[in-house]
C-alpha cells in the first residue's frame, strides 16, 4: 500500500503562510517575483501544467529525455533545488516516480502536491477488482481531465488573483481532452474485442477505452517493465500470439527496449502484425493533446486493419 498523500486542501494553510512570508521578506520559494513555479516529474505532466498555468507559470519537468526510463530515474542536485523552490509539484504516483516523493520529503518543500494516481481513483478500482494498478494514468483521458482541474486548484491556492485564469485554462484544456474521449468512442465499434500484445502496459487505459483485448502473458509485461528477462517459455508463448493470428497489433514501449523486446517486434513484423511504438515522455516540441491524438490514431489504425 502506498502512503497517504496530503491533499491540496490540507496544504492550503501552509501555502498561504508561505506566500505571506515570501512577500514580506523576498526570501520565498517562488523562482522570481510574482512567478509561480511548478515542478513535474515528467514532461507529460509538465505539458499539462503549462496548458493550465499559461505563460506566466514557470514549469520544470524533471524527466524530458525520450531515451530516459522514468521507472529507473535518479534525482540530482539540480532537481533537488527545483523541488525546494516549487509552489506546486505534479507527480504520477503509484510507485512510478518515487524519486519525487523522496525529494519532497528531503527538501521539506511547502509545495502543493498533485498526485495523478490519487486523483484518478484507479488504485481503489484496481484493488476492488483484485488487479495490480496500471500506473501509466496519463493514457487515461478522464484522469488527465481531473489532473488539470487539480493543478488549476493548486495554482489558484498559491495565486488567488490568478485562480479564474487557471480555471479557464483548465476548462479549455478539458474541452480538448473531451475531443480525445469522443474519438475513442467513435473508434470503438472497429476496435472492440480486437487482440493486442503490449511489451509494457503503458497505453493500457487507451486500449481499454477502445475495448481492445490485451492477450500479453502477464509474466511477459511484468518482466519487461521491471527490466528483467522473460523465461524462454513465456517468450515463446508471446511470439506464438503473432504467428497464430490471435492479435492485430503490437504496442511496444520504445523507451524500454532490449534483445527480447526486439525479438517480439521482429516476430510481429514477420507475421504482418501492425507495430505501434509508444513512449513515457512527450516528444520535443509536441503538446500533450496533439501527442495523444497521434497515439490514438496510430493505435486505432493498427487495430482496425
Ligand atoms: Zn512504464
The alpha carbon of 42 and the centre of ligand 1 are apart by a number of angstroms equal to 12
> 280: CA distance to ligand 1 center in Å?
6
Mean predicted confidence (pLDDT) in 193-216: 95
Q: Ligand 1 mean position to 70 CA, how many Å?
A: 7
170 CA distance to ligand 1 centroid (A)? 26
CA distances from 296 to 95, 185, 209 (A): 25, 11, 10
- Grid cell 477505452 — which residue? 209
Q: What pLDDT is recorded for position 12?
A: 33
Could you tell me the maximum CA-CA distance found in the chain, to the nearest angstrom?
70
From the CA of 122, how far away is ligand 1's center (Å)? 16
This prediction's pTM: 0.86
How many CB atoms are closer than 10 A to CB 267? Answer: 19
Architecture of domain 8-180: 3-Layer(aba) Sandwich (3.40)
Q: 225: CA distance to ligand 1 center in Å?
A: 6
Q: Phi-psi category of 121—alpha, beta or left, where left has phi over 0 and alpha has psi -120 to 50? A: left
Say how many Å lie between the CA of residue 239 and the centre of ligand 1: 21
The domain ranges of the chain are 8-180, 192-304
Tell me: pLDDT of 148 over 80.
yes
How far does Cα 161 stand from its chain's mean position?
29
Distance 4 CA to ligand 1 centre (A): 22
CA atoms of 157 and 87, how far apart (whole Å): 10
- The rounded percent of the chain whose pLDDT value lies above 70 is 87
Between the CA of 72 and the centroid of ligand 1 the distance, in Å, is: 10
- What's the gap in Å between 252 CA and the centre of ligand 1? 11
Dist. CA 21 → ligand 1 center (Å)? 39
Query: In terms of Cα–Cα distance, which of 125, 116, 176 is closest to 147?
Result: 116
Q: Tell me, what's the pLDDT at 71?
A: 67
Distance 261 CA to ligand 1 centre (A): 14
The better pLDDT of the pair 165, 79 is held by: 165
Interval between CA 17 and ligand 1 midpoint (Å): 37
Residue 67 DSSP label: T
Domain spanning 192-304, CATH class: alpha beta
Beta bridge partners of 141: none
Q: Are 249 and 299 in contact (CB under 8 A)?
A: yes
Same CATH topology for 8-180 and 192-304: the answer is yes
Q: In what side-by-side order are the strands of the sheet with 112-115?
A: 57-63, 36-42, 88-91, 112-115
- The CA 76 to ligand 1 mean position distance, Å, reads 21
**C-alpha cell read off for 215:** 492477450
Q: What are phi and psi of 60, to 5 degrees?
A: -115, 120
| Cβ 15 vs Cβ 87: under 8 Å | yes
pLDDT of residue 70: 65
Distance 41 CA to ligand 1 centre (A): 13
Cell of 124: 481503489
DSSP of 96-121, one letter per residue? Answer: TTHHHHHHHHHHT--PEEEEHHHHHT
Say whether pLDDT at 216 is over 90: yes
Q: What is the pLDDT of residues 36-85, one digit of tens each?
A: 999 999 999 999 999 999 999 999 999 987 666 666 777 788 899 999 99
Q: Is 204 helix (H, G, I), strand (E, B) or coil?
A: helix
pLDDT at 13: 33
Q: What is the 176 CA–ligand 1 centroid distance (Å)?
A: 25
pLDDT band at 298 (very low <50, low <70, confident <90, very high): very high
- Report yes or no: 57 and 155 within 8 Å, Cβ to Cβ: yes
Ligand 1 centroid to residue 96 C-alpha, Å: 7
Residue 251 Cα to ligand 1 midpoint, Å, equals 13
Q: Specify the 3-state DSSP secondary structure of 76.
A: coil
The DSSP letter of residue 26 is: S
The answer to whether the CB of 280 falls within 8 A of the CB of 255 is yes
Mean per-residue pLDDT, 210-225: 89
Residue 264 to residue 250: CA distance in whole angstroms:
9
**pLDDT value at residue 208:** 97
Amino acid at each position: 500500500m502506498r502512503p497517504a498523500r496530503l491533499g491540496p486542501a490540507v496544504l492550503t494553510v501552509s501555502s498561504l503562510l508561505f506566500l505571506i512570508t515570501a512577500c514580506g521578506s523576498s526570501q520565498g520559494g517562488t523562482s522570481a517575483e510574482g512567478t509561480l513555479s511548478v515542478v513535474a516529474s515528467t514532461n507529460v505532466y509538465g505539458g499539462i501544467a503549462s496548458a493550465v498555468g499559461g505563460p506566466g507559470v514557470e514549469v520544470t519537468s524533471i524527466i524530458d529525455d525520450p531515451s530516459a526510463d522514468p521507472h529507473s530515474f535518479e534525482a540530482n542536485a539540480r532537481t533537488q533545488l527545483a523541488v525546494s523552490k516549487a509552489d506546486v509539484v505534479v507527480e504520477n504516483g503509484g510507485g512510478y516516480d518515487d524519486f519525487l516523493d523522496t525529494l519532497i520529503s528531503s527538501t521539506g518543500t511547502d509545495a502543493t502536491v498533485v498526485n495523478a494516481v490519487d486523483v484518478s481513483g484507479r488504485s481503489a478500482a484496481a484493488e476492488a477488482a483484485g488487479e495490480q494498478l496500471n500506473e501509466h494514468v496519463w493514457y487515461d483521458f478522464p484522469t488527465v481531465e481531473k489532473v488539470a482541474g487539480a493543478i488549476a486548484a493548486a495554482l489558484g491556492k498559491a495565486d488567488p488573483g490568478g485562480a479564474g485564469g487557471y480555471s479557464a485554462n483548465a476548462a479549455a484544456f478539458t474541452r480538448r481532452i473531451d475531443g480525445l474521449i469522443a474519438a475513442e468512442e467513435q473508434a470503438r465499434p472497429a476496435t472492440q474485442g480486437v487482440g493486442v500484445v503490449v511489451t509494457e502496459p503503458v497505453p493500457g487505459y487507451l486500449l481499454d477505452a477502445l475495448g481492445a483485448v490485451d492477450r500479453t502473458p502477464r509474466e511477459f509485461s511484468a518482466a519487461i517493465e521491471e527490466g528483467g528477462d522473460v523465461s524462454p517459455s513465456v517468450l515463446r508463448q508471446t511470439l506464438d500470439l503473432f504467428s497464430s493470428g490471435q492479435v492485430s497489433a503490437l504496442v511496444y514501449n520504445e523507451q524500454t527496449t532490449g534483445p527480447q523486446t526486439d525479438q517480439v517486434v521482429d516476430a510481429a513484423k514477420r507475421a504482418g502484425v501492425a507495430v505501434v511504438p509508444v513512449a513515457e515522455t512527450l516528444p520535443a516540441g509536441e503538446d500533450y493533446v496533439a501527442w495523444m491524438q497521434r497515439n490514438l490514431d496510430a493505435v486505432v489504425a493498427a487495430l482496425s486493419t
